Amino acid sequence: MAETGPDGSIPDTTTGSDDPSAANSGGSISVYVVKDGDSLSEIAAKYGVTMNTILWANDIKDPKTIHAGTSLIILPVSGIEHTVTNGETLNGIATKYGANADDIASFNGLDSNATVTSGQKLIIPGGELSAGVTPTKSTSTTKSSTSSTKTTTKSSSSIKTGGSLADVQANPYRGGSGAPLNGYFGNPVPGAIVTQGIHGWNGIDLGAPSGTPIYAAAAGSVIVSKVGGYNGGYGSYVVIDHGNGTQTLYAHFSSIIVSVGQSVTKGEKLGGVGMTGDATGNHLHFEVRGARNPFADCTLMKACSPE
């Protein structure tokens, strides 16, 4: 079973494209191919994200290794800005927000055993506020395709979601919301046990032995096929764009047999179940972006078929 599941990110950019000009509120993932003359700061500004977001999402330690032709996965991270107080540690902060200490260290350019100091500001990727925290006021701007409105919300720290982590806005994926597409998505691991319900970005976990085949839930084009690395908790993972405003993400592979740009049919094998990244036990972490997860109402610890 997974502990909390990885927290992949949802950018407001075009699907599988290097042109972010057309915002996509459906939560699609983008891939940018670096061009001659590009700088990391310019790419980050183009997508409205931080440079750390790009480095963290692509498991890059040294930005100097980025060059023309490098494919960058643009996965802006949902998180919280936290100001360290006396006596706090990375582990304690991670526990407070339900996040991962190694993710916090990596995202903020720290060693995993680093000591944090009072007054230091940290971004907590994937962080969530607990119910018992005393709130303070913060102001946010929420944008839609037709209008832009200002709202005032309360939080114990500045909640920063999507894009540049600069706006406070509702995350439509944490509750598993989205339009239902009955019968569209198939079961990526038939017969697997649902070991964790909706968590992270509209994801569920399907427990199965190592190497059990993972299949495409629907036909589409592979836009991410990342083998090896922590990758924000996903480990080896695949993202398929289905051409209708939806994407599916498959994480923790033991092996992957598809590549970027490949067209796949519904039920085509993608690889095998594993426990790479942030995983305890072999399972598939399966996310649906742009639609309701068909496993949302399944009973835990039982096999279930999508609706």
| pLDDT above 60 (res 12) | no
The one-letter amino acid at 181: L
Does 36 map to a domain?
no
Closest CA to 72 of 17, 114, 126: 17
Give residue-wise pLDDT tens across range 175-217.
Answer: 355 788 999 999 999 999 999 988 877 889 999 999 999 999 9
- CATH at residue 282: 2.70.70.10
Shared domain check, 270 and 219: yes
Mean pLDDT of the chain: 75
State mean pLDDT over 32-41.
92
State mean pLDDT over 76-97.
84
- Domain span at residue 150? 79-160
Q: What angle do CA 287, 291, 295 make, to 5 degrees?
A: 55
Does 35 map to a domain?
no
Does 271 map to a domain?
yes
Give residue-wise pLDDT tens across range 263-305.
Answer: 999 999 999 999 998 888 999 999 998 899 999 899 999 999 8
Cα torsion 157, 160, 161, 167 to 10°: value is 130
* Non-local CB neighbours of 153 within 8 Å, separated by 6+ positions: 137, 138, 139, 140, 159, 168
The region, left, alpha or beta by phi > 0 then psi within -120 to 50, assigned to residue 40 is: alpha
Q: How far apart are CA 97 and CA 130, in angstroms?
A: 7
The count of structural domains within the chain is 2
Does 121 map to a domain?
yes
Does 118 map to a domain?
yes
Closest CA to 29 of 70, 57, 66: 57
| pLDDT above 80 (res 168) | no
Number of C-beta neighbours around residue 46 at 10 A = 16
Give residue-wise pLDDT tens across range 212-249.
Answer: 999 999 999 999 998 987 787 789 999 999 998 889 99
Q: Is the pTM of this model over 0.85?
A: no
Does 132 map to a domain?
yes
